[in-house]
Amino acid sequence: MLERLESLRQDALARVAEATDAEALRVLEKELLGKEGVISEILAAIPTLPQEERRDTGRGANALKGELLEAIGSKRALLDEALVEALRDGGGFDPTLPPATPARGGLHPITQVRREVEAIFTSMGYEVLDGPEVELDYYNFQALNVPVDHPSRELQDTFYCDDSHTVVMRTQTSPVQIRAMERLKPPFRVIAPGRVFRNEEQDATHEHTFHQVEGLVVGEDIQVGHLTWTLRRLLNELFERELEVRLRPGYFPFVEPGFEFDVRCPFCEDGCRVCSQTTWIEFCGCGMVQPCVLEAGFSGREDVDVSKLTGFAFGFGLDRLVMMRFGIDDIRNLMGGDLRFLEQFPC
């Protein structure tokens, strides 16, 4: 029996040494040391042995058991270490294989820039207002010093919603000026972004539906300089640098004096496509609020003394700002709802 133990020992140790992975070792361990393993079998057979062999066989089997446990243990540690090493091997690693990507989705570029503009103005204490897109002629024109037969109406290519022309698709965000005056108590500062409509043939630079941001500040002693200062602040934030600007005459019936506010083209030194080779970009129309517009907006307000008030107003297009920001060459993409376009502006 002792000889058998010895040959078993040599055989088992050799097999443990040869085991190449954890699974083989586990099978071997079971075969050798399991409940029905060889060692158990030997121990179970001890009562059948002659008395004089029992003690040595028992000792030898238990010693072998201990020896095998240790051998398997260290072999396991060895294999484990090899396994960890193997996991650290970078062979065949290619980080450029495409990952599992979350689906795409994002905000419209108009929304992105509009939020930027809103954030700049709210940080300066402006309230953000909204107004109807289907608007009364009164707000869109009459209260803004554009009476029914004013020639500038024809320049605006208005969509009318009824034959009597009392309801229009708003041609500008300016009607929100009047709505603000009706509701708020001066002094106040507001902006009103939103979509506007003009009956124009569509092409790469013309849309019948586009977006404006209106601004209105009303208070005592509001001056032209406040307007230019404010617009400069906006541009510096938007373009993240100081740009040259200029104020020149412009005609809008609801401001007097009225201005065009130009900004030096941020994309070129001596003329490019964006500025139509002029180096100036017409950024917005603006001016000091016409006294008769203040009269109309605050009419019937006993808590407001219009004679003490002045104000400035401005309006600029969001679409062009967006097109400039991203280099978009066709305005029709903005309202086209095409994912191939929308997915280009992840945000």
**Contact, 141 vs 151, CB < 8 A?**
no
C-alpha span between 82 and 21 (Å, rounded): 9
The residues in 268-297 that bind other proteins, with binding defined as CB under 8 A, are: 288, 290-291
The residues in 234-273 that bind other proteins, with binding defined as CB under 8 A, are: 246-251, 253, 256-260
How remote is the C-alpha of 278 from its chain's centroid? Answer: 34
How remote is the C-alpha of 50 from its chain's centroid? Answer: 86
Question: Judged by CB, which is closer to other proteins: 23, or 338?
Answer: 338
Give how far Cα 240 sits from Cα of 213, 234, 286, 293, Å: 19, 10, 22, 34
The residues in 15-54 that bind other proteins, with binding defined as CB under 8 A, are: none
Judged by CB under 8 A, which of 67, 133, 237, 295 binds other proteins?
A: 133
Question: Judged by CB, which is closer to other proteins: 5, or 342?
Answer: 342
Segment contacting other proteins by CB under 8 A, of 52-60, 106-114, 264-272, 300-308? 106-114
Cα angle: 260, vertex 262, 263; to 5 degrees? 160
Question: Judged by CB, which is closer to other proteins: 212, or 290?
Answer: 290
C-alpha span between 345 and 332 (Å, rounded): 16
Asked if 343 interacts with other proteins (CB under 8 A), we say yes
Asked if 105 interacts with other proteins (CB under 8 A), we say yes
> Shortest distance, CB of residue 195 to other proteins, whole angstroms?
7
Question: Judged by CB, which is closer to other proteins: 20, or 164?
Answer: 164
C-alpha span between 15 and 20 (Å, rounded): 10
Judged by CB under 8 A, which of 61, 110, 234, 235 binds other proteins?
A: 110
> Shortest distance, CB of residue 135 to other proteins, whole angstroms?
8
- DSSP-H helix ranges across 240-347: 291-297, 318-326, 339-342
Cα angle: 293, vertex 297, 303; to 5 degrees? 125
**Contact, 318 vs 299, CB < 8 A?**
no
The torsion angles phi and psi of 308, rounded to 5 degrees, stand at -90, -5
By CB under 8 A, the count of residues binding other proteins is 84
C-alpha span between 296 and 305 (Å, rounded): 13
Segment contacting other proteins by CB under 8 A, of 16-24, 92-100, 153-161, 235-243? 153-161
Structure tokens at 335: 């309202």
User: Contact letters (x/-) for other proteins, 303-322, by CB under 8 A?
Assistant: -------x------------
The residues in 202-231 that bind other proteins, with binding defined as CB under 8 A, are: 202, 208-209, 217, 219, 221-226, 228-230
> Shortest distance, CB of residue 288 to other proteins, whole angstroms?
6
